[in-house]
């Protein structure tokens, strides 16, 4: 048997142990200590709101406030997705919003939400701005608040009954109190009489165009029936309060002055008066109670009205306010024209009384003109070339400087008649004039006699 040498090779077996593997990502592996804590996390969006509440304060009912802004910022690490941006709460309809946010906001970006307040009623109003998104704590909210301000009107009475009143005779005044019981200023647009017999009633008031919250004012109403029987009207108040117009009903009954008697009647000596300021005299108006019965005429007021009322005046009168004028009797009113400017002016004289057709009206007109001087020229000596005109505002106080720049000759229409127009006069002023004749060598004659013109006397 052949002997062979067998070489044995020792095989060394190397067993590789499984090592712990660390990965850069958060992945669970079949390794030591698995699962491993990740070295970072994936971020989320986050919302920051500024401010977190809006207070609009007091705002008139029905009026929209100025806008208040809320700033929304994404302070997270992922884009913010907005799924809903809405107004919620008790009075959500009293608020409105517009925004620049859209459906998403980038990381680090911001947008603006603008909110307005329009209160629908008086008092406290609240709501919330709600933002639904993919950030933690969604929905985010901003609280909203404001107060509806409104004027409220309260009247001491909604009707005034004057009862029986003689035709043409004013009643005693009845008073109403108007109160603003609201929490803002009452704006009064008009306060007027309306209805079938509105002209039989009159009102005066101390309310003006506005009334502060909590304040009051009075309205006085009188009744002067124009005819017998039932007379009705209403007082209408237009304002910014709820329920405007406010209305007060007015009623009364006109009665004759006495059984079988007729109402007082007025006769005027003229229905118009015309004045020129150079006359400087009053014109007399005569007022007569022309009633054929026993009715007395009672005058309640005499007044000047119209655009130029201040240019006329009552210099004297025998017509006494409140003093009865028996049938057939008369009184007088002296009227003066007292102009302050050059030109034509107009007004009227109004006489209120208990007669039919009251108030009685007389139209007034007046004209203030330039002063036109005329004189008879001299034919001797023959070398007279014209005249100088001197003026003053006091007798004997004429200026030493003539009004004319050269001797007046062009105004002479014949050798013996000359005129000069003084266009520099002022209304309601008296003027004094003198003339001198001017010779060809420049010498002047002695002054003429003084002439006066203009008002006052």
Q: Can you give the residue ranges of every domain in the chain? A: 47-149, 153-255, 266-368, 371-453
C-alpha to C-alpha distance for 310 and 343, rounded to whole angstroms: 15
CATH architecture of 266-368: Sandwich (2.60)
Q: What percent of the chain clears pLDDT 90, i.e. is strictly above it?
A: 42
CATH architecture of 371-453: Sandwich (2.60)
Task: Find all residues with CB under 8 Å of 304, minimum gap 6, and list them.
Answer: 310, 312, 313, 314, 347, 348, 349, 350, 364
Average pLDDT for residues 187-197, to the nearest whole number?
Answer: 92
Q: How far is CA 442 from the centre of its chain?
A: 65
* Residue-wise pLDDT tens digits, 216-265: 999 999 999 998 889 999 999 998 887 778 899 999 988 765 544 556 78
Q: What percent of the chain clears pLDDT 70, i.e. is strictly above it?
A: 84
182 pLDDT tier (thresholds 50, 70, 90): confident
C-alpha to C-alpha distance for 38 and 427, rounded to whole angstroms: 106
- CATH code, 47-149: 2.60.40.10
61 pLDDT tier (thresholds 50, 70, 90): confident
CATH fold of 153-255, please? Answer: Immunoglobulin-like (2.60.40)
C-alpha to C-alpha distance for 185 and 181, rounded to whole angstroms: 10
25 pLDDT tier (thresholds 50, 70, 90): very low
What does each C-alpha distance from 360 to 10, 135, 159, 355, 396 come to in angstroms?
A: 151, 84, 30, 9, 46
- State the pLDDT at residue 322: 78
Given a cut of 50, whether residue 41 has pLDDT beyond it is no
- State the pLDDT at residue 278: 56
* Residue-wise pLDDT tens digits, 278-288: 556 788 999 99
* Residue-wise pLDDT tens digits, 307-357: 899 888 888 889 988 778 888 889 999 998 877 777 788 999 999 888 877
Per-residue buried b or exposed e for 355-387, using 16+ beta carbons within 10 Å of the residue's own CB = beebbbebebbbbbeebebebebbeeeeebebb
Query: Does the global pTM surpass 0.75?
Result: no
Question: Do the domains 153-255 and 47-149 match in fold?
Answer: yes
Cβ atoms of 277 and 369 closer than 8 Å: yes
Task: Find all residues with CB under 8 Å of 324, minimum gap 6, and list them.
Answer: 296, 297, 298
């Amino acid at each position: 048997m052949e002997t062979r040498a067998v070489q044995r090779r020792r095989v060394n077996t190397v067993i590789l142990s499984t090592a712990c593997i660390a990965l850069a990502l958060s992945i669970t592996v079949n390794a030591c200590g698995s699962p491993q804590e990740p070295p970072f996390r994936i971020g989320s969006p986050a919302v920051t709101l500024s401010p977190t509440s809006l207070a609009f304060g007091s705002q008139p009912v029905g009026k929209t406030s100025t806008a208040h802004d809320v700033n929304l910022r994404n302070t997270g690490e992922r884009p913010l997705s907005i799924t809903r941006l809405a107004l919620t709460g008790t009075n959500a309809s009293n608020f409105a919003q517009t925004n620049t946010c859209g459906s998403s906001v980038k990381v680090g970006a911001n947008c603006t939400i603008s909110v307005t307040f329009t209160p629908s009623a008086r008092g406290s109003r609240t709501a919330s701005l709600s933002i639904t998104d993919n950030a933690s704590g969604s929905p985010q909210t901003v609280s909203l608040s404001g107060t509806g301000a409104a004027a409220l009107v309260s009247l001491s009475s909604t009707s005034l009954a004057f009862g029986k009143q003689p035709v043409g005779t004013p009643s005693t005044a009845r008073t109403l109190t108007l109160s603003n019981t609201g929490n803002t200023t009452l704006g009064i647009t008009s306060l007027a009489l309306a209805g079938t017999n509105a002209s039989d009633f009159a009102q005066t008031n101390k309310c003006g165009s506005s009334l502060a919250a909590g304040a009051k004012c009075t309205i006085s109403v009188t009744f002067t029936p124009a005819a017998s029987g039932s007379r009705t009207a209403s007082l209408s108040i237009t304002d910014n309060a709820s329920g405007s117009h406010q209305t007060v009903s007015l009623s009364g009954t006109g009665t004759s002055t006495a059984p079988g008697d007729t109402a007082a009647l007025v006769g005027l000596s003229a229905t118009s008066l015309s004045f020129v300021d150079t006359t400087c005299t009053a014109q007399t108006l005569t007022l007569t109670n022309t009633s054929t019965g026993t009715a007395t005429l009672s005058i309640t007021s005499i007044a000047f009205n119209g655009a130029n009322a201040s240019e006329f005046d009552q210099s004297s009168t025998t017509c006494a306010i409140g003093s009865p004028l028996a049938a057939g009797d008369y009184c007088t009113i002296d009227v003066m024209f007292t102009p302050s400017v050059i030109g034509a002016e107009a007004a009227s004289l109004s006489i209120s009384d208990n007669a039919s057709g009251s108030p009685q009206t007389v139209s007034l007109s007046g004209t203030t003109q330039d002063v036109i001087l005329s004189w008879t020229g001299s034919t001797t000596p023959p070398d007279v070339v014209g005249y100088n005109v001197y003026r003053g505002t006091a007798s004997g106080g004429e200026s030493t400087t003539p009004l004319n720049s050269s001797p007046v000759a062009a105004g002479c229409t014949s050798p013996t008649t000359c005129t000069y127009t003084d266009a520099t006069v002022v209304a309601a002023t008296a003027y004094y004039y003198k003339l001198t004749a001017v010779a060809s060598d420049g010498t002047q004659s002695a002054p003429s006699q003084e002439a006066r013109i203009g008002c006052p006397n």
